Amino acid sequence: MPDNVEISTLRLPRHIAIVMDGNGRWAKQRHRPRSFGHRAGQKAVRATIEFCLQRGISALTLFAFSSENWQRPQSEVGALMELFLKALDREVDELHGYGVRIRFIGDLSAFAPALRERMQAAMAKTFANAKLALNIAVNYGGRWDIVNAARQIAAAVQRGELAPTQIDERCMAQFFCLADLPPPDLFIRTGGEQRISNFLLWQLAYSELVFSDVLWPDYDADCLQRALDDFAQRERRYGKTGDQVSANGSRPELK
């Protein structure tokens, strides 16, 4: 196998997490309502899923609605809920056919029963698929994820199943969303802002961060390829020195 092929597969992220930002500004540039931008953003979602399927990336986590986004105008929140509902009805069968496992992460209890039922049905239907783990973060907050983990740990202690001295990073990690997946290797945020906005806080500890000025509806396979090229150039050191890392090969794992 030629060197460059080896490097290109070794340096491919297993898990990509994306803050899909910039829909509102994209619509504003066109003098259209913000919901127009959200609708346009769906094309970029499809392109991203196809890209991951084609490139053999095994997990993709998309931030679709944060726990703070409820504070937006009611009309925008309503339009987003409508879009989610329609997208579920339209896309689930096709994604299932491609071997995609769909998972929603976040506090689903806040959603209307009709939407919640469809989310649950999509998760149940695609549960056994293994080609791509597609995680959609809705009413998700990284701080909520931490609180949720803390609650489950406290309950396990209360039941006498866990001693406080047994709580370490490995133990805690099991209680966060997506505990069964490797943490994101690559975090992408579109739309020009350089912040995490309460996305995966625990899970992003050692992710490589890539920021793009492209607004989400315009994000496409070329943009994703540029992010992968950028990722392939990074040296992930996990606290070690560059010399230690090069002596150990190009993918040192945590501990």
For ligand IPE, the binding residues (CB under 6 A) are 19-25, 63-66, 69, 80, 191, 193, 195, 197
Alpha-carbon distance 89 to 153, whole Å? 36
Question: Residue type for 11, please?
Answer: R
Total residues binding Mg ion (CB under 5 A): 1
Measured from the CB atom, the residue of 40 and 153 that comes closer to ligand IPE is 40
Q: How far is the CB of 20 from ligand IPE (least distance, A)?
A: 5
**Residue 185 contacts Mg ion per CB under 5 A:** no
Q: Which of 21, 23, 139, 185 is catalytic?
A: 21
Alpha-carbon distance 243 to 192, whole Å? 34
- The β-bridge relationship of strands 186-189 and 132-140 is unpaired
Q: How far is the CB of 55 from Mg ion (least distance, A)?
A: 27
Measured from the CB atom, the residue of 76 and 91 that comes closer to ligand IPE is 76
* Residue 235 token pair: 């040296």
**Which among ligand IPE, Mg ion, none contacts residue 69 (Cβ within 5 to 8 A by kind)?**
ligand IPE
**Which among ligand IPE, Mg ion, none contacts residue 93 (Cβ within 5 to 8 A by kind)?**
none
Query: How remote is the C-alpha of 251 from its chain's centroid?
Result: 21
Q: How far is the CB of 155 from ligand IPE (least distance, A)?
A: 29
Q: Checking phi first, is residue 249 left (phi over 0); if not, alpha (psi -120 to 50) or beta?
A: left
Question: Is residue 21 annotated as part of the catalytic site, yes or no?
Answer: yes
Measured from the CB atom, the residue of 80 and 178 that comes closer to ligand IPE is 80
Q: How far is the CB of 85 from ligand IPE (least distance, A)?
A: 15
- Residue 240: helix, strand or coil by DSSP? coil
Alpha-carbon distance 121 to 114, whole Å? 11
Measured from the CB atom, the residue of 78 and 192 that comes closer to Mg ion is 192
Q: Which of 3, 4, 23, 69 is catalytic?
A: 69
Alpha-carbon distance 132 to 84, whole Å? 20
Measured from the CB atom, the residue of 21 and 185 that comes closer to Mg ion is 21
Closest CA to 119 of 77, 69, 84, 83: 84
**Which among ligand IPE, Mg ion, none contacts residue 20 (Cβ within 5 to 8 A by kind)?**
ligand IPE
Q: How far is the CB of 21 from Mg ion (least distance, A)?
A: 4
What's the sign of the alpha-carbon dihedral 160, 164, 170, 173? positive
Question: Is residue 69 annotated as part of the catalytic site, yes or no?
Answer: yes
The CA angle 97-135-200, to the nearest 5 degrees, is: 165
Footprint on residues 2-31 left by Mg ion (CB under 5 A): 21
The packing angle between helices 34-55 and 74-97, to 10°, is: 20
Give the residue numbers marked as catalytic.
Answer: 21, 69
- Which residues of this protein are in contact with Mg ion, per CB under 5 A? 21
